[in-house]
Structure 1
Amino acid sequence: MTDTKLLEQFRSFYFRNYPNDMETQIEYFAIFGGLGLEVDTTQPIYLLIEDLILENFTYLNAKVEELTLGNAINKRLLNALAVGDRRIFSAFNRAGLNNGNGGAALNYLQERGLVQIEYSREEPAKSLNPNGKLKKEIARHRISHKVLFTHPFIRFWFYFIYPNIRNIQNKKYERLFESLEKKQNSYTSLVFEELSEVLLNYNLRDAQILSSGSYWDAKIEIDILTITNDERVYVAECKWTNHRVTKKELHKLQEKCERLGIEPSQIIFFSKRGFSKELKQKQGKDLALYSSEDFEALVKNASNTQQIKNLFDPYL
């Protein structure tokens, strides 16, 4: 379903900062969303990180310690969730946790409002023979739910700041900025995917949405799978890269649908850099293409008077 909290944050960020275009809005929101500061989006991100985050590191780190109770397990789990595939069991493994201490930490982080669960829609595997047994590799597969951060800035902190915290405390920022240079597009991809689902569901607001979110199982992942009460199925992929989406990506997504045994009513692509001429020619009722500028629909008719509470209020 449409994540109203993320939509509220997205709108609040826009009306606080008025970026020049939606690509800038998404890119800067992915880092500073939920921080509750005025962000001069005409300035380079690296400069803003230094001015708004690194120069105020002592305060922000103290606030993060408060939010996590200063608990090493809570922080390790947040780091594992930020940099991994978001699956709960793999995050526990990455953080060196078990179901007991990992589950307790996850429950606390949920209660504190730092994360929320995205539930898997994978069906448990069954043998075609009522008395048959599943292959070992299938039987061992555990369906795992995933986790989303409720505020982009918290994920940014545990993706980039937390792993470099000792260097930052010593005013050494080189590794942080090297990591950001290599991983920024990859990092922003998840926020773009979340916002893409918000935009899709916003455009489907006159329909009754039965189920929406990403889909994953042991072999297939699809960024967005939305089903409405009139049995229409919308399948979408989101590409936050510096390359245009081509017909090749369409074929890949069609193959995934065939493997899942679904016939989409419409295939949708969301792209940072737009689409190839070939793909544009296929656009129609079966294929919808959204670029960064289309996200303006989320703020166009919204009120700019709405105040939302950020995790870091009051700030400084």
Structure 2
Amino acid sequence: AIDWLIKSDLLIFDRPVEKPVKEEDANSDKLLFTQPFMRFWFSSISPYYKGIKEGDYKEMKEHWSHMKAGFSALIYDQLVLEMLKKSFKDAFEGDPIVGIGGYWDKNVEIDILIKRKSGEMIAGVTKYSKAKANKSELTKLKEKCAQAELDVDTLVIFSKNKFSSELKKEKGEKLQLFSLRNLTGLMAELSEKDLLEHTNKKY
């Protein structure tokens, strides 16, 4: 089944942008559904289809309540990466992005890692909680980069709910802050073919 999903471009391998310095720290690649609905179907509908068909949604709803936050976070992660590609496109014209995604090994995981043609790297963290991102996010990100032995030039932080005053003071050439309003730029490049046609019955 997995082979068919991969061949059908419904499932892809997600690999870290940079390999761990120590080969023994390497971790397995991840598998990602290319469409959020497919991920929802195989994680929350298909395993409980028998009960759902019989009108029993209890088990499915319980499962969904535990995973919906992570489900939304992955969609946000993908949007943030697209936004960063767009945001840095002009600035990186002479030294373009050749890899964008995340980094993980057996010891540490970094939400965002961008690699440019020159080898320069940008690391980042995403924060989706209701609290503002504060300076501790920056400290933890620096610690993770050091632990992974990544030579990072610039850091980025995306926060769904703004930033603390203390963190804003750190903003500069080596630290860029992004928020929800930065995602609105993704809408500008949508065309009619990107829109989904409503085919359900209207009551």
TM category, shorter: 0.7 to 0.9
Greater fraction strand? 2
Question: Do residues 169 (structure 1) and 53 (structure 2) align?
Answer: yes
Deviations for 1:79-115, whole angstroms, at most 9, x for unmatched residues? xxxxxxxxxxxxxxxxxxxxxxxxxx3x321111211
For the 8 Å contact 1:222–1:237, the answer to whether it is kept is yes
> Who is 1:116 aligned against?
12
Residue 113 of structure 2, aligned match among 199, 203, 225: 225
Deviations for 1:192-217, whole angstroms, at most 9, x for unmatched residues? 11211111111121321122211111
> Who is 2:182 aligned against?
294
Counterpart mapping for 1:170-249 below 5 A? 170-206=54-90, 207=92, 208-249=96-137
2:19 aligned partner, one-letter code: E
Question: Do residues 251 (structure 1) and 139 (structure 2) align?
Answer: yes
Greater fraction helix? 1
For the 8 Å contact 2:44–2:63, the answer to whether it is kept is yes
1:122 aligned partner, one-letter code: K
CA distance in 1, matches of 2:183, 2:194: 21
Residue 278 of structure 1, aligned match among 135, 145, 166: 166
Which runs of 5 or more structure 1 residues have no equivalent in the other structure?
A: 1-73, 75-104, 127-137
1:116 aligned partner, one-letter code: I
> Aligned pair in 2 of structure 1 residues 314, 215: CA closer, same or farther (>3 Å)?
same
For the 8 Å contact 1:242–1:273, the answer to whether it is kept is yes
Q: CA deviation at 1:307?
A: 4.4
Which runs of 5 or more structure 2 residues have no equivalent in the other structure?
A: none
Q: Secondary structure at the match of 2:39?
A: helix
Question: Do residues 153 (structure 1) and 37 (structure 2) align?
Answer: yes
For the 8 Å contact 2:20–2:26, the answer to whether it is kept is no
Q: Which is greater in Rg?
A: 1
Q: CA deviation at 1:152?
A: 0.7
Tell me the matched-pair count.
196
CA distance in 2, matches of 1:270, 1:262: 20
> Who is 2:192 aligned against?
305
Q: Secondary structure at the match of 2:143?
A: helix
For the 8 Å contact 2:122–2:154, the answer to whether it is kept is yes
For the 8 Å contact 1:212–1:226, the answer to whether it is kept is yes
Q: Secondary structure at the match of 1:215?
A: strand
Q: Secondary structure at the match of 1:187?
A: helix
For the 8 Å contact 2:26–2:105, the answer to whether it is kept is no
For the 8 Å contact 1:124–1:143, the answer to whether it is kept is no
Deviations for 1:171-210, whole angstroms, at most 9, x for unmatched residues? 1223333443443222211111121111111112132112
Higher relative contact order (CA 8 A, sep 6+): 1
CA distance in 1, matches of 2:21, 2:149: 16
1:279 aligned partner, one-letter code: L
